[in-house]
Each structure stands twice: as structure tokens, then as C-alpha cells.
Structure 1
Amino acid sequence: MDVKDIIKEENLVYSKPSLLSDKITHYCPGCSHGVVHKLLAEVIEELGIQEKTIGVSPVGCAVFAYNYIEIDWQEAAHGRAPAVATGIARVDPDKVVFTYQGDGDLASIGTAEIMHAANRGENIVVVFINNAIYGMTGGQMAPTTLLGQVTATTPCGRDLERNGYPLKITELIGQLPGAAYVSRQSVHTPAAVRKCRKALRKSFENAMAKKGTSFVEVVSTCSSGWRLSPVEANKWMEENMFPFYPIGDIKDGQKAEAGDFMQQNLKN
């Protein structure tokens, strides 16, 4: 059977959200950033909050995110996006504010920023792209690099004695009373894309309802940094990253109320 008989041209329809610009992204083939950008544009458009939404872009592969989604943006210094988002959300609480960060930006230099922002329950959405490597600067080891994983700075694989354990930042965020919704998703299959979209929508709805910090990790590939084809990278991610970074919701509720939290402390 010819492939044309299976895939019909009339069924190949690409629905482009109006919030996505016409600029061609600079991302490598197979990169997850483009898919997540599309999901963010869809969610913001669907909720009708384009004029109210402010994104904070990072230092890293997504440093030019402001070129691709037609909303207001603010650039932040490396790792400081949660602090910048905190300032914006407090000055103008009617805005819906989100950060978009990679593992080097958020889980390394920005660890203190995200932990304290989430612990305070700042009313922001945090989108965390975890590809277990420093993608933009040459494929060095990141805090989330797996044990044994080969990178530019761990040519023999990440060593526990020398480099310590990979950081499960999402599980840490899930323990904080200010975090309302914490989830880990991926975008490697159509089903995964739909689940990730649902998690992003819930996060933005939480921000609109002033529920506290919502945090969505997206376990992603880095074909260039991993030195794999897009297909091989997806397979490697499924076999190696998902067992250590399991997909699913970690916390779903709202930030702890001050009275309840004080009472709990007194009982303990």
C-alpha cells in the first residue's frame, strides 16, 4: 500500500494559534521547545487572556521566546525569572504572569529564586523545561543530568562521588506549602501533548484564580546535546529519563492558608 493511501493530503491540517508569530524558531529539529510554545499560545488564546498575560523569558535556549508568542514579555537575568515574575505580579495583580525556564536556568543558578517564590506562594506559573543538559552552551552537565549520562563535561558519564545526585526539583517544589499545582509532563507523543496542554491550562486557571504558584516540568529531549537523532532522543528519554523523572501530577490543590499552617505547626 502506498503511503499516500494512508496519509491523505486533506487530513494534513496544521492549526496555528493566532498568538504564534510567523517567525521561524531557532530551535534544533526535534526540540521540545516549539511544541511547548504552541501549547502555551493555544492555552492563552483559549482563555482569552492575551492582553493580560506577561511572560518572563530566561537565559538559555528559549532566550528568544518573546519572538514567537505574541504577548508582553520581560527578559530576566540568568535564573532570576521567578524574582522578576514576583515583582510584576505584585505590582499588577490583575496580570497573569508566567516564567519559561530550562534546567540550567531554574535548577542551577536559579534554585534559590524558584524555591523561595514557590514557598511564598507567589501567584505565578512556572514552565520548567528539563532536558538534563545545558543545551545552548555546548552540552555540559546540568543539575538534572542523570547518573552515568555522558555530557561535554562528563565524557565518562556523571559520577556520583564527583558530581553528586541529579536534582529532582519538581518533587522539592511539591513539598512547599505555597505551591498549588505541581506536575511533570512531556510532549513526545500526541497523547503526552494533550496531557501537557491540560496541565498548562490548569496552571493558568490557577493563576487567574489567585491560588498560588503552579509549576509544570516538561521532560524534554536535546538531540544536539545528546548527539542523537530526534527519534533516538525520544527513545532514550523514554528509557532513561522517565524512570527517574516519572510523568504525572505531584500536587493538585492550592497553597496552604496561614491559619491552617500555623495550627498544624502548633500541633506538631
Structure 2
Amino acid sequence: MEQVFGRPRSLIDVPFHFCPGCHHGIIHRLTAECIDRYALQETSIAVASVGCSVFLYDYLDVDVLEAPHGRAPAVATGVKRARPDRFVFTYQGDGDLAAIGTAEIIHAANRGEHLTVIFVNNTVFGMTGGQMAPTTMPGQETTTTPFGRDPAVNGFPIRMAELLGGLTGTTFAARGAVDTPKNLLKTRKLMQRAFEVQINGEGFGFVEVLSACPTNWKMSPERANRRVKEEMIPYFPLGIFKGGEA
């Protein structure tokens, strides 16, 4: 019988440790599929930062560097400039990329660094206990906003794909989700395009992926997945914000 679906070669055959209902595992798989699609396993260098993304080296069979909190784009810039023959990408969460790492991601994009960035947005600081993140939605309860985020006090969530899409140095900026098979397939296309931007020497590629965090949202996996559709996607619309059709 012909096998039509299997584990990507660059995805290590171990169980994921992520919480039930977390979308990190799905996004890891999509990343591995892109690596395999473009035969990048032997030439890829991934840079992960602090947060749930830190465990990337446990799951992807490529060279992985760990960066200080928020500094993955800066580390990746140095790696890519030192080894321009390598495919260099970062894998970061919203507490990392959009908070302490805001300066690094904005300036790497604005310089048009030849990098690919995979940004996982679950609207909270996942690893450290569910505190409010720059992407926490208005009214959303977190451990530091127990009565819901109040824009008058806490400001508004940052839409990173739109922000980076407005920079001259950015080649491709998009947002996807993995809450449904249809959205997953669309996100795969977006990630492939972000990979191609670097492969083709076009510059900086960025894909934001909306993700569920059932544990810190204090929801069942099913309810958390519905939140992505009912609350996150309306606030963080899916699509391409710079770079044309995927």
C-alpha cells in the first residue's frame, strides 16, 4: 500500500511535550515539512529564543542555536552574515518577539535581513505562567489582567504582521492559523512563501501563526481552538500584508 502521509524527515520521532491542545506541535510539523520540501535539512540553522519555542532543538533535526530572550533576530542576523550559504530562520513566541524582542525584530525586518521568521502568537506569556503579552486581546483575562485587558490602562494589542508589513525592508509578511484543516493548508502555503523569499535571495520573510494556549487560557483544548476562530481571527485577520499572493 502506498503511504500518502508520514512524519517529515526533519521532524525527530519523539512525542511532543506541549500541553494538550497547544498548536506548537502542528507548527513544528509545518516547519519540518517546509525544510523537507526545499531540501534544507543539511543547510538550515534555526535560532530559538526564550519561551515555549526554546525546545525547538528537541523536535527539529537541524542545527539549532539558543538566543537570549527576544534576541533571536539579532543572533540570526549574525549567523546569516557569517554564513550566507545557510538557510537561517527563527522560531519565536509573542512574549518573546513582540515584547522584549520588539527592537530586534523591527530592525532586522527594516534592514531587509535575509531571514525567515516563524512567529507563534497565543496572546500570552506561555512558559512563565500566562501573563499579559503585547498581543493579549482587549478584555482577555490573564494572570496579570485578571479583570481583562483594559486598553485605557494597558494599551492595545500589537498586530505584528501588519506592523512589519509596513516596513520598506520587509519582503513578505503574512498571518495564518492552524485551528482548522483549511487554515492549516493555507498557513503551509504562507510558510512556503516565507521560505522561498530567503531561498531566492529576496530578503526578509515573516509568518505569524495564531495558536491556542489551553493551559494559560484555562480552557479545554476544544474551547481554546474555538477561541482562535471566534476571538483571535476577528482581531488578528488572516492574510498577506506584504509580498503578493502565496
Native 8 Å contact 2:179 2:228 kept in 1? no
State the match for 1:124 in structure 2. Answer: 115
The partner residue of 1:188 within 179, 191, 202 is 179
The partner residue of 2:224 within 233, 238, 242 is 233
Q: Are 2:213 and 1:222 aligned?
A: yes
State the match for 1:252 in structure 2. Answer: 243
Alpha-carbon deviation of 1:25?
1.7
2: distance between equivalents of 1:22 and 1:169?
A: 32
Question: How far does the alpha carbon of each residue in 1:68-91 deviate from its partner, in whole angstroms, 9 at most, with x for none?
Answer: 010011100000000000001101
SS at match of 2:158: coil
State the match for 2:99 in structure 1. Answer: 108
2: distance between equivalents of 1:228 and 1:44?
A: 33
State the one-letter code of the partner of 2:104.
E
Q: Are 2:147 and 1:156 aligned?
A: yes
Which of structure 1's runs of 4+ aligned residues deviate more than 3 A? Answer: none
Alpha-carbon deviation of 1:36?
0.7
Native 8 Å contact 2:115 2:198 kept in 1? yes
Per the normalisation by structure 2, the TM-score is 0.96
State the match for 1:4 in structure 2. Answer: none
2: distance between equivalents of 1:138 and 1:34?
A: 19
Alpha-carbon deviation of 1:130?
0.4
Q: Are 2:10 and 1:19 aligned?
A: yes
Question: Residue 183 and residue 120 in structure 1: after superposition, are their counterparts in 2 closer, same or farther (change >3 A)?
Answer: same
Alpha-carbon deviation of 1:14?
5.1
1: distance between equivalents of 2:75 and 2:201?
A: 18
SS at match of 1:23: coil
The partner residue of 1:78 within 69, 94, 98 is 69
The partner residue of 1:143 within 103, 113, 134 is 134
State the one-letter code of the partner of 1:196.
T
SS at match of 1:43: helix
1: distance between equivalents of 2:90 and 2:134?
A: 19
State the match for 1:63 in structure 2. Answer: 54
Question: How far does the alpha carbon of each residue in 1:187-244 deviate from its partner, in whole angstroms, 9 at most, with x for none?
Answer: 1111111111111111111101111110000011100010111110111121111111
2: distance between equivalents of 1:203 and 1:70?
A: 20
Q: Within 5 Å, give how 1:167-182 maps onto structure 2.
A: 167-182=158-173
Per the normalisation by structure 1, the TM-score is 0.88
2: distance between equivalents of 1:157 and 1:14?
A: 42
Alpha-carbon deviation of 1:49?
1.3
The partner residue of 1:95 within 86, 108, 112 is 86
Structure 2 spans left out of the alignment, 5+ residues: none
2: distance between equivalents of 1:189 and 1:161?
A: 34
State the match for 2:32 in structure 1. Answer: 41
State the match for 1:257 in structure 2. Answer: none
SS at match of 2:125: coil
State the match for 1:3 in structure 2. Answer: none
1: distance between equivalents of 2:168 and 2:142?
A: 35
State the one-letter code of the partner of 2:162.
E
1: distance between equivalents of 2:166 and 2:152?
A: 27
State the one-letter code of the partner of 1:27.
F
Structure 1 spans left out of the alignment, 5+ residues: 1-9, 254-268
Q: Percent identity?
A: 52
Alpha-carbon deviation of 1:13?
7.4
Alpha-carbon deviation of 1:24?
1.8
Alpha-carbon deviation of 1:104?
0.5
